[in-house]
Amino acid sequence: MTTSFPRRFTARTQAALAVERLAAEASRRLGRGSGEMIGGKLALRVSPEMLAEVGSHRPSACVSGTNGKTTTTRLLARALGTLGPVTSNSGGANMAPGVLAALSRPPFDAAAALEVDEMWLPKVARQITPRVVLLLNISRDQLDRSNETRRIAAMWRELGGELPETTVVANVDDPLVAWAAAGWRRQVWVSAGQNWTADAMVCPQCAKLLYRNESGWWSECGLARPEPIVAVTGPRELLWYGRTIPARIDLPGRVNLGNAAMAAAAAREFGVEVEASLGAMTGLGDVQGRYQEVVLGEPGRRGRLLLAKNPAGWVEMMELLADAPPRPVVIDFNSQTADGRDPSWIWDVPLERLRGRQVLVTGERKEDMSVRLAYAEVAHSLHPSAEAAALAANEKVVDVVANYTAFRDLLVRCSR
Amino acid sequence: MRGVSATRIALIYPELLGTYGDGGNAIVLARRLRWRGLPAEVVNVPAGSPVPDGCDIYLLGGGEDAPQVLAADGIRQNRAILRAVGGGAAVLAVCAGYQVIGTSYPSGGRIHEGLGLVDIETRRSFGPPDAAPPPRAVGDIVVEPDPRLGLPTLFGYENHGGRTRRLPGAGGFPLGIVRRGVGDGSAAGGGEAGGRADDHGGAPGTDGIVDGRVIGTYLHGPVLAQNPALADLLLGFVHGSALRPLDGPPETVALREARHRALVTP
Ligand SMILES: [Zn+2]
């Protein structure tokens, strides 16, 4: 077979790229997902250094954090697309194999907008030396897997010392992120907001309690919220390098405007003007099915799909659910490995706010959610599936809040 | 006897000791009182402020390393919990909170002094110093409670690195026998094993402690949401026989059946 891989790649990497392509195609043909994972895994086995080879000679950005990675990566890819071709792991495979798969597609000099898992960020970034790293937030997710939020922040902080050429775009409203980014050579500070503060009550630097007020947070040791150069200042407004600019995107909620601000600040480092960035971002109405309206089971029954995989995500969704008109809410709740096996975090979610709405519950752990709602005195009903719940709802259109595997399965069923 | 004065439930430092939804225990206790027509007040004790005297039930939950030490220092400083227990108050301490009410616990590579409310100690391992410490105990846990408590099977979830054991001559007794999971990670009768419940050479491990009106356990979930009878045991400590029985709510019956199907039925 003929290869179209650049000659500067080693024979080993050329072979690995061929393996990746074959495996990914075979996997896609067999209908086993996007093929990113299996192809990337095999290729890394053939050539463990190939990530550096396919990734380090191109302009790239890595996006990491607990919440908002996929959305921010998608927004950034759109902004960078105003300059030329962009590659991105838009399927959400965000560990080394998924990143590798994205970097293995020609053209090999395309810019790269890469979503990277929090724990994998050092490994990936060390190899590809990105021009920009975006650090969004750190909160509890999947408690049974990685249980120390500070450990992630410390890992990120250390990474900065190894990447002297890389600019970090960091969210000043998350103390863990700000502390992690303070160790880097050059920062672009963005106020993207943080509506979940329970995981950042303790100073990551001195382990004393953090102080907070309306204008920020600070610690006895001197660590404090850096002054942002970019900030979300209103529902459709940004502070941008000293001026106030209108900012309107199609994704709902303040949280997504924060994601857009982070992405635009990163794109600026590649030479994209903010107006061009925001312009490219509008038109993106859903991200991997999130915020999308789908047919639920029967024609005429529709659901807006919302993903909430941890307490911080749920608090964000509460903001969206507060929109008028108040639709019935279907909650689809699992606790598989990818969700975190421990469902106790639902007790940290202010589900009391759902009182007065019609609430319908489904999912493998619906009984856990049901007890939570009973103690919140939220009347609700249990159903075997989201489709059955939608059929039982008082209105034709419902909001569906699902956690990770529930959302994934729902999306597969609805897009058939 | 208590008239109309509200039962005061103190939720201690939820920002530090609330990592595993343990704030839910306060919600459960307050609701179960109100559903009986009894007034209840949840006293949120924010981190950095002193623990108040005069509450009826004190709740301590789970937390990560640095927050655990910060919380323990605050709790030890004013000793309000020790005074309150002396005056008849009840305590539920879960996970990191359970470790903190003992005499000592590990965090950040050091051993820290605990509140000393119960005679237990926690270490990363009780094995020989040259042996690798046991893995973190993470997963579903099922405990058969001590028959003296008159409670049904306890369901929960555990997530902790420490192993806990009773000190010689300790007061009280273990909360129960671990049927699934790790719990204290020490065998009934004060053994030194530190593995799964089923590899103590046949002797099942125990979880937790009940000493007077103090209950400590590794079960979160939160534990009172999954085990309403344990919630009522605590409320009974405060209200005595005046506490009328409360069935359900039906949602908890369904949850316990689901947990039983998933964890106990082979
Ligand atoms: Zn500090």
Read out DSSP for A262-309? HHHHHHHTTT--HHHHHHHHTT---BTTBT-EEE-SSTT-EEEEEE--
Catalytic pick from B95, B160, B200, B239?
A: B95
In a domain, A184, yes or no: yes
The answer to whether the peptide bond before residue B245 is cis (omega within 30 degrees of 0) is no
A161 and A115 share one domain: yes
Position A325 scores a pLDDT of: 75
Q: Is residue A14 part of a domain?
A: no
On the question of pLDDT at A74 being above 90, the answer is yes
Q: How far is the CA of B96 from the centre of ligand 1 (A)?
A: 22
Let me know: does B9 contact B30? Beta carbons within 8 Å.
yes
When pLDDT is averaged across residues A368-381 and rounded to a whole number, the result is 98
Query: Which of B19, B66, B139 is closest, CB to CB, to A207?
Result: B66
Indicate whether A319 and A195 sit together in one domain: no
The whole-number pLDDT of residue A143 equals: 55
Does residue B136 have a known ligand-binding role? yes
Rounded to a whole number of angstroms, the distance from the CA of B247 to the nearest CA of chain A is 13
pLDDT recorded at residue A136: 96
How much is the pTM? 0.87
Q: How far is B62 from chain A (nearest CA, A)?
A: 12
Using the beta-carbon criterion (under 8 Å), do A147 and B64 form an inter-chain contact? yes
Nearest to A347 among B225, B254, B259 (CB): B225
How far apart (Å, rounded) are the C-alpha atoms in residues A158 and A152?
A: 10
The pLDDT-based confidence of A144 (bands split at 50, 70, 90) is low
- Burial (Cβ within 10 Å: 0-12, 13-18, ≥19) of residue A156: buried
- Checking if the pLDDT of A314 tops 70, the result is yes
Cβ <8 Å between A348 and B157: no
* Mean pLDDT on A128-139: 95
How close, in Å, is residue A202 to chain B by CA atoms? 7
- Is residue B112 part of the annotated active site? The answer reads no
If you measure CA to CA, which chain B residue comes closest to A372?
A: B225
**Using the beta-carbon criterion (under 8 Å), do B222 and A344 form an inter-chain contact?**
yes
- Sorted by sequence, the CB contacts under 8 Å of residue A270 that are 6+ apart come out as A59, A61, A80, A83, A111, A131, A132
CA distance B168 to chain A (A): 32
Enumerate residues 6+ apart whose C-beta is below 8 A from A297. A385, A386, A387, A388, A390, A391
Across the interface, whether the CB atoms of B20 and A147 are under 8 A apart is answered no
Taking an 8 Å cut-off on Cβ atoms, the answer to whether A347 and B23 are in contact is yes
Among A342, A348, A368, A409, the active-site one is: A342
Residue after which a domain boundary falls, among A250, A281, A312: A281
Ordered DSSP codes for A199-227: T--B-TTT-SBPEEETTEEE-TTS-BPPP
Residue A321 has pLDDT above 70, yes or no: yes
Identify the pLDDT of residue B2. Answer: 47
Supply the pLDDT for residue A154.
94
What letter does residue A344 receive in the DSSP assignment? G
| Angle formed at CA A207 by CA B106 and CA B49, multiple of 5 degrees | 95
Return the CATH number at A64. 3.40.1190.10
The reported pLDDT for the residue numbered B170 is 93
Same-domain check for residues A245 and A317: no
In this structure, the answer to whether residues A99 and A245 fall within a common structural domain is: yes
Q: Are residues A217 and A296 in the same domain?
A: no
Q: Is the pLDDT of residue A32 over 60?
A: no
Name the token pair of A192: 């993207």
Tell me: do A95 and A210 sit in the same domain.
yes
Instruction: Locate the DSSP E strands across A109-150.
Output: 111-115, 132-135
**Residues in chain A within 8 Å Cβ distance of B159:** 143-144, 147, 342
Query: Does any domain span residue A85?
Result: yes
Are B47 and A342 a contacting pair at CB < 8 A? no
Single residue among A261, A281, A301 that ends a domain in this structure = A281
Q: Sorting pLDDT into bands at 50, 70 and 90, what band is A201?
A: confident
Q: Please give the distance, rounded to the nearest whole angstrom, from the Cα atom of residue A137 to the centre of ligand 1.
A: 18
- In A371-400, the residues whose Cβ lies within 8 Å of chain B are 371-377, 382
Q: Given pLDDT bands bounded at 50, 70 and 90, which one contains residue A9? A: confident
Per-residue pLDDT of chain B (266 residues; tens, 9 = 90+): 445 689 999 999 998 998 888 999 999 999 999 999 999 999 999 988 999 999 999 999 998 888 899 999 999 998 999 999 999 999 999 999 999 999 999 998 899 999 999 999 999 999 888 888 899 999 999 999 999 999 999 999 999 999 999 999 999 999 999 999 999 997 654 444 444 444 444 457 999 999 999 999 999 989 999 999 999 999 999 999 889 999 989 999 999 999 999 999 87
Lowest mean pLDDT among A20-24, A72-76, B42-46, B196-200: B196-200
Residues A190/A230, Cβ–Cβ less than 8 Å: yes
Q: Report the pLDDT value the prediction gives residue B201, as an integer from 0 to 100.
A: 44
A185 pLDDT above the threshold of 50: yes
Cα-to-centroid distance, A225 and ligand 1 (Å):
11
> Residue B24: its chain A contacts at CB < 8 A?
344, 347, 372, 375
CB pair distance less than 8 Å for B24 and A144: no
- A266/A323 same-domain check: no
Count Cβ atoms below 10 Å from residue A123 Cβ, excluding itself.
Answer: 15
**Chain A residue with minimum CA distance to B31:** A375
Give the CATH number for residue A385.
3.90.190.20
Which 8-state DSSP code applies to residue B173? B
Residues A58 and A171 grouped into a single domain:
yes
What are the residues facing B154 on neighbouring strands?
Answer: B143
The C-alpha R_g of chain A, in whole angstroms, comes to 22
- Pairs across A and B, CB distance < 8 A: 93
Q: Which residue of B has its CA nearest to A139?
A: B19
Q: Which CATH class is domain B7-123+131-264?
A: alpha beta
**Domains identified in chain A, total number:** 2
Residue A407's contacts (CB-CB under 8 Å, 6 or more residues apart) are A289, A290, A305, A307, A309, A332
In A89-155, DSSP assigns E strands to 111-115, 132-135
Q: Per the domain annotation, does A304 fall within a domain?
A: yes
pLDDT in tens, A218-273: 999 999 999 999 999 998 999 999 999 999 999 988 899 999 999 999 999 999 99
Task: Give me the residue from A201, A370, A372 closest to B16, CB to CB.
Answer: A201
Test A375 with B27 for CB contact under 8 angstroms.
yes
The C-alpha of A329 sits at a distance from chain B's nearest C-alpha, in angstroms, of 19
B55 part of the active site: no
- Helix%, strand%, coil% for chain A, nearest 5: 40, 20, 45
Average pLDDT, chain A: 90
User: So what's the ipTM on this one?
Assistant: 0.94
List the domain boundaries for chain B.
7-123+131-264
Residue A163 lies in a domain: yes
Report percent pLDDT > 70 for chain A: 94
d(C-alpha A261, C-alpha A259), whole Å: 5
**DSSP states along A147-203:** --HHHHHHHHHHHHHH-TT-EEEEETTSHHHHHHHHTSSEEEEEE---S--TT--B-
Checking if the pLDDT of A33 tops 60, the result is: no
**CB contact, 8 Å: A322 with chain B?**
no
A53 in helix, strand or coil? helix
User: Do A69 and A88 share a domain, yes or no?
Assistant: yes
Tell me how many helices (H) and strands (E) chain B has: 7, 14
Contacts of A62 (CB under 8 A, 6+ apart): A114, A115, A116, A121, A124, A125, A128, A130, A132, A133, A134
Q: What is the largest CA-CA distance in chain A?
A: 66
The answer to whether A222 and A261 are in contact (CB under 8 A) is: no
A272 and A300: one domain?
no
Identify whether the C-beta of residue A35 lies closer than 8 Å to the C-beta of residue A47: no
pLDDT, residue A31, reads 59
Q: Which of B160, B200, B220, B239 is catalytic?
A: B220
Cβ of A342 and B20 within 8 Å?
yes
Q: Is residue A19 part of a domain?
A: no
Examine the domain organization and report whether A299 and A401 are in the same domain: yes
- Lowest average pLDDT, out of A4-18, A212-226, A387-401, B61-75, goes to A4-18
pLDDT value of position A324: 66
Query: Mean pLDDT over residues A171-199, rounded?
Result: 91
**A195: domain range?**
49-281
Contact A203, A209 (CB under 8 A): yes
Reduce the DSSP state of residue B36 to 3 states and report it.
coil
pLDDT at A44 (0 to 100): 78
Q: How far apart are CA A77 and CA A134, in angstroms?
A: 13
A375 closest CB neighbour out of B136, B225, B259: B225
**Residue after which a domain boundary falls, among A281, A303, A321:** A281
Is the CB of residue B210 less than 8 Å from the CB of residue B230?
A: no
The single-letter DSSP state of residue A230 is E
My answer on whether A142 and A74 are in the same domain is yes
